[in-house]
Amino acid sequence: RDRNLRTFLPPMMFNNSGNMGIPLLVLAFGEAALPAAIVLFIVEMLLHFSVGLYMLDPHTSVLQRLRLPIVFASIAGLAVNLGGVPLPDWLLQTMNMLGEICIPLMLFTLGVRMLDIDFSDWKLGMLGAIACPVSGLILAWPMIFLLDLPGIQVAALWVFAALPPAVLNYMVAEQYQQEPHKVASLVLLSNLGSLIVMPIVLGLVFSAGYL
């Protein structure tokens, strides 16, 4: 039972905030939504590589988790931003190129896993496709009423709450051998389901007049 929870819960908790969330928010709400999208993305990544990894392997030391590149990158990025440190163009271009490689690489690895996916797990994938946005929206609802947020941040939070699981969940499950075939099914079917869910959520956000 514990193994099943470790397989199912992380994809429900850590959604596609980078590959889908940031571009979707900017496309729907304009550049004004970018700061909120980036903050939500960074918070989620830090939680994924701390709480998420602890869920998969409670015996991993805190020091090992602090050595992860995402932690260093987040701390370095915040330090550069808050300190107003200028970066040379060649360094920015290099980092942009490396960043652009990551998304296709993650999608490629998921596609490779799809070649031998066991679709006997389709019921779990369908459950995840429903549970992920529903649970996210339910949890976001009290937070929106408790926090005094501007309209665009409320809209961003609603959209982020409904996002499907991130492809990164599959890569982490592969690394920790946490039933990656089941996680791949969860990620694939949930992202396909988002083709229906996200337009509905965006329509409700616009009709609610948050912007």
Distances from the Cα of 189 to the Cαs of 53, 78, 134, 158, in angstroms? 23, 34, 15, 21
Q: Which run of H or E residues covers position 192? A: helix 180-207
| Domain edges within the chain | 2-205
74: phi then psi, degrees, rounded to nearest 5:
-65, -45
pLDDT for 10 equals: 94
pLDDT for 73 equals: 79
Query: CA-to-CA distance for 51 and 134, rounded, in angstroms?
Result: 21
Q: Taking a C-beta distance cutoff of 8 angstroms, is the pair 126, 189 a contact?
A: yes
Give mean pLDDT, residues 199-211.
Answer: 91
Examine the pLDDT at 109 and tell me if it is beyond 90.
no
Spatial CA neighbour of 24 closest among 210, 184, 205, 145 = 205
Q: Please identify which residue in the block is written with the tokens 């066991």.
A: 118
pLDDT for 12 equals: 94
pLDDT for 20 equals: 87
Identity at 60, one-letter amino acid code = T
**9-43 residue pLDDT tens:** 999 999 988 888 888 998 899 888 888 888 888 88
Please classify residue 159 by burial: count the beta carbons closer than 10 Å to its beta carbon, then call 0-12 exposed, 13-18 middle and 19+ buried.
buried
Query: CA-to-CA distance for 188 and 64, rounded, in angstroms?
Result: 30
**60-82 residue pLDDT tens:** 777 777 677 777 777 888 788 88
Using DSSP, state whether 151 is helix, strand or coil.
Answer: helix
Using DSSP, state whether 165 is helix, strand or coil.
Answer: strand
Q: Please identify which residue in the block is written with the tokens 């819960």.
A: 9
Give mean pLDDT, residues 91-105.
Answer: 80
pLDDT for 138 equals: 96
Q: Which residues of 61-97 are buried (b: 16+ CB within 10 A; e: fewer)?
A: eeeebeebeeeeebeeeeeeeeeeeeeeeeeeeeeee
Residues making up the chain, counted from first to last = 211
